[in-house]
Amino acid sequence: MARQPNTDAAHSADLSLTERRNPRTAMIDLASPREIVDLMSAEDARVPAAVAAVGDAIARAIELADATWRAGGRLFYVGAGSSGRLGVLDASECPPTFGTEPELVQAVIAGGAPALTRAQEGAEDRAEDGGHDLDARGLSERDFVIGIAASATTPYVRGALSHAHVLGAHTAIVTASPPPPEIMALVDFAIVPIVGPEVVTGSTRLKAGTATKLVLNMITTGAMIRQGKTYGNLMVDLRATNAKLAARAERIVAEVCGISRDEARTALEAAAGSAKTAIVMRRLGISRDEAEERLDDAEGMIRRIVPGPPPPVA
């Protein structure tokens, strides 16, 4: 009898890494709850090393985001499904954490706001919508667009990157599978943490999603640090929009200035709620207007104004 071709191997070669089967979890449906935890934990342990391996590309994204903001541009995340939701999560955390305007880091997700809580069938397949949605945000050549697509082939993301590329904006892609040539032609560079096949085949909310979250954390946090949004590792530009953040602002001012919480609260009131301004006012004994002027001159970096580092960690 004639030998049959190895169709499984041929099929696997055509699949992105995120769609291939994981031999280590092929029997997971027979596992106990504890065995499932152990199998998933073993797979998740591969993620940090995969992210660290693409550190140079992540650093390039940090540098480009910082330069984009200094030139008056914005950072856009574009994705569909789980990838899009991760972009929305990261973008939405920037204003309360770093005191930025919501427009500075924006997330565009296929299907719009309804896609945040319910899958919008077919939205990711409409490539033209990616460009249209960026147009609606007034995308220009000053902006930086990062596509997020675990498989690297999502049409919506490809359409957005193509539109941004034509406009002359900087572009990059975060993906868990090597991008095809047609995608690489649209981006300045790619960030590709190779986490391997998923525990459940194709479920990229798992390892690929975890890797993506780590990468996005690093991009915005790193770029915000470069913007002077921290003093040491203290988030001195946070917005006290709730009781927890207000208490954190008080603790930061009290620790840096060596004063009581009550005095810190008074200092924050005098600084219109800005921990950064309150620190400069208190440490230098100057008015709010003068503190704000000095911060502007120092591009928001306390270390350029206040001598010495923040207090050491106790």
Q: How far apart are CA 228 and CA 302, in angstroms?
A: 7
Q: Is 250 designated active site?
A: no
CA–CA distances in Å: residue 241 to residues 102, 106, 303: 14, 20, 25
Strands of 43-138, DSSP E: 75-79, 105-109
Residue 15 has what DSSP assignment? S
Q: Is 93 designated active site?
A: yes
**Residues forming a β-bridge with 76:** 106, 145
Q: b/e for 170-194, b at 16 or more Cβ within 10 A?
A: bbbbbbbbebeeebeebbbebbbbb
Handedness of CA 248, 251, 255, 257 (dihedral sign): positive
Question: 3-state class of 106 per DSSP?
Answer: strand
- Please count the other Cβ atoms lying within 10 Å of the Cβ belonging to residue 264: 23
Under 8 Å between Cβ of 108 and 137 = yes
Catalytic hit among 124, 198, 250, 292: 124
Q: Which of 197, 194, 149, 139 is nearest to 173 (CA)?
A: 149
Give me the active site residues, please: 93, 124
